Structures are given as C-alpha cells and as structure tokens.
C-alpha cells in the first residue's frame, strides 16, 4: 500500500483531480471537506502528508495548520497548502504557521504530484 495523503479540500473538481493523479501514482488518498472536523480526521487516521486548502467551511486552513503545529502528534506532518488567493500575506502566514509548501490555484497537477513524490520519497 502506498503512502497516505489526506486531502482537506471542499472543491469537488480539485478533489477529483488531485485524488486521481496521486492514486494513479500509487498513493492512498483520503479526502475530507469540513474545516470544523479536519483536525479530528487527521488524528483519528494519521496520514503521511496533508494537502490543506486555506478556505474551508467551518474553519480556515490557517486555523487547522495552527492546531496541527501545536499538537505533538501532528507537529511534524508535512503540509502543502492550497489557496485561490495568491496574495503575499497569505503565503507569508502559511509559512509563519509552519506550512512546508504553498501553491496558488490554479496549479499544475504535475506540480502537486511531483511535490508529494519529493516529500514522501516515492
């Protein structure tokens, strides 16, 4: 079984595209769409990596990232953040909070796949 990636995203087209490209490459992809329950999802079934959208229903990706980095069980999980808003302040905040990488939508599926491969050593 491939390494596990948790995609926390609420946009169906993005969920489908990322799930397809990573699954085809041998990764096991789990998805979650609600910001309010995202942290519980991470801790109940810990992934090898998280792809996290900034704008989610319930709670923002920034809030979730803050929780992840503040908990010893999840503090070192690699996190790739995605956003439709490519403002410098969003990128700076993501890195300040501990995101490993930040991509602005629209992004290349190949770029996402290559980054996940690099991080997870596949």
Give every CB contact of residue 43 below 8 A, 6+ residues apart in sequence: 71, 73, 74
Closest to 4 (Cα-Cα) out of 29, 21, 22, 25: 29
**Residue ranges per domain, the chain?**
4-116
Which tokens belong to 121? 């050593």
7 is written with which tokens? 């995609």
pLDDT digits (tens, 9 = 90+) for 8-25: 999 999 999 999 999 999
Which residues touch 5 (CB under 8 Å, ≥6 apart)?
22, 27, 28, 29, 30, 47, 48, 49, 50, 51, 116, 120
When pLDDT is cut at 50, 70 and 90, the band that residue 2 belongs to is confident
Task: Could you please state the CATH topology (level 3) that the domain comprising 4-116 is classified under.
Answer: Rossmann fold (3.40.50)
**Using one digit for the tens of pLDDT, what is the confidence trace for 47-101?**
999 999 999 999 999 999 999 999 999 999 999 999 887 788 988 999 999 999 9
């Amino acid at each position: 079984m491939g390494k596990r990636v948790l995609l926390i995203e609420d946009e169906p087209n993005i969920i489908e595209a990322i799930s397809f490209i990573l699954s085809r490459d041998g990764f096991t992809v789990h998805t979650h769409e609600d910001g309010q329950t995202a942290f519980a999802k991470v801790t109940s079934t810990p992934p090898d990596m998280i792809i996290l959208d900034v704008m989610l229903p319930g709670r923002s990706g920034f809030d979730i990232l803050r929780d992840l980095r503040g908990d010893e069980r999840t503090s070192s999980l690699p996190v790739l953040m995605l956003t439709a808003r490519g403002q410098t302040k969003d990128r700076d905040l993501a890195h300040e909070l501990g995101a490993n990488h930040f991509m602005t939508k629209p992004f290349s599926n190949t770029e996402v796949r290559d980054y996940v491969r690099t991080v997870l050593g596949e």
